[in-house]
Structure formats: structure tokens, C-alpha cells
Amino acid sequence: WQSTIAPNANNDNWKFGAAVSIHDRVIAIGPARDWDIGVDQGGVQLYVRAGPLWLQSAALSHPRGNIHAQFGAAVCLQHRMLLVGAPRDNEDESERGAAFLYEQVDDQWQLNATLSRVSNNDADQFGAALACDENTLVIGAPKADQGAQDSGAVEVYERDAHGWRNVATLVSNPPKAGALFGLSVAIDAGHIIVGAPGDRTDGNFSGRAFIFSRHASGWTLDTTLSCPLGGRGWFGNAVAVNQGRVLVGAPRLTRPQQT
């Protein structure tokens, strides 16, 4: 145990810690939505390491002041960049979602880009899951109707000389209703992992994970992973990847002989 980071006593309604990310000497912490009153609380807090301490360095709130966007439900830090998801972002209470990219300039975090789906539809919840490396942004829209209701989709952006460009929309093939493809995402060394915990290919709510790789022709599906133990495991609810190893969470899986 190294440290406990918490808001001060005057901000105990922040629902602090719903999303976290760390890179180098910077930590980003997002708040949960306060469902009792139906609004977001506290924005995204940034901390920097100073010796053994973590000191608050900045606080970011929704650029348009939207208090129903769930701004900070997902956060991702990488190479002086901060990507913030707001899956309930809306202009007309449609919960289409958005993601906001900040870049650190000296000691300030400046909004660099506001991202949304080209084919943005009601209740897509774009921004519910995030992953990034220095030149790639991966953003999940798990409620997107991409060929079937709530089948889900993932948008991939890459940096070029003109900024960030949408280069791919990843989907399961064929689309599965209720699969929630994109509820979790991860990226490492030219590979993107996408979780679809509602996928019913191997049984109700068994779930699957999909591995995409970057090739000369773009991002293509390499393989899919299913839960080796089967069952209603919600396999793919969380994913991670590092140096050729993929880690997949199945939080609802029960052991044999159990209900």
C-alpha cells in the first residue's frame, strides 16, 4: 500500500474513483453519476506525483457544462494525453455519447478534440470504454445498433498530420443483438481487444472477446475468444492486453455444480 487519494471533506459527494488511469507520474480519477439526483459529480481530477505524495494538479468538467453526460465514466492517460468518456452525453437527451481528448501543454490540460460517431444514433453510449496509445484512440459504443439492437461497435482513430481521423469501425460479424460489443476495450502493440459480454454464441450471456490486429489494409479481426468454462459468465466484461497476453474478466461465471 502506497497512498490513499480522496477528495477533501467539502466534496464528499463526488462519488470519487468510478474510473481511474495512471501513466508515468500522473493519475486521472473520474466520478460516478449520482443516481439519487440524476447528475454528474465532481468532474475528472488529475494528480501528479511529488516525492511520496500525489498532489492535485487540475480538475476538468464537461466542456459544455452538461451535468447529465456521465463525464469521466471512463478515463485513459497516455503520453501527455487524457481521453475522457461521456457515454450519456447528449444535446437532446438521446445518450449518444462523446469522448473528449485533452493534451497537456506545460502545466495546463487543453481540449484538443471532441469525438463522436459519424453514424451517431440515440443511446449508442459512445465513450463507455476507452483505450489509447500515443497515436491511436479506441472508443467503445456498446449500445450501438450496428446490424442488430445493442450489438455494439468500436471506433478507432489514428493521428495524422491534420489531427485525429476515424480509420475504422469495428463490429462483430455477424452482429448479435444484446452483445454489447465494445463494453470493454484494450490496445497494445498493434492489437485491439474488444469485450462483448452479452454475446450469446456459446449460450445466454456467455460472452466473447475479439482480437483485431493492424495490417497494411487496416484493422482486421484475427480471432475470437470464448470462455473456456462456458456458462453465463459475462466473459469480456473487462479486457487487458500486454506483450502478447490477453486477460479477460468473467465476473458472473459460476463454478461447476453451482447455480
User: Are 164 and 101 in contact, with CB atoms under 8 Å apart?
Assistant: yes
User: Are 69 and 90 in contact, with CB atoms under 8 Å apart?
Assistant: yes
Banded pLDDT at 33 (limits 50, 70, 90): confident
Distance CA 74, CA 138 (A): 12
Q: What are phi and psi of 92, to 5 degrees?
A: -140, 35
Cell of 61: 468538467
Banded pLDDT at 12 (limits 50, 70, 90): low
Nearest to 202 by CA among 240, 248, 235: 235
User: Are 44 and 32 in contact, with CB atoms under 8 Å apart?
Assistant: no
Q: Which amino acid is at 233?
A: G
> What is the pTM assigned to this prediction?
0.93
pLDDT tens string 129-164: 999 999 999 999 999 999 999 999 999 999 998 899
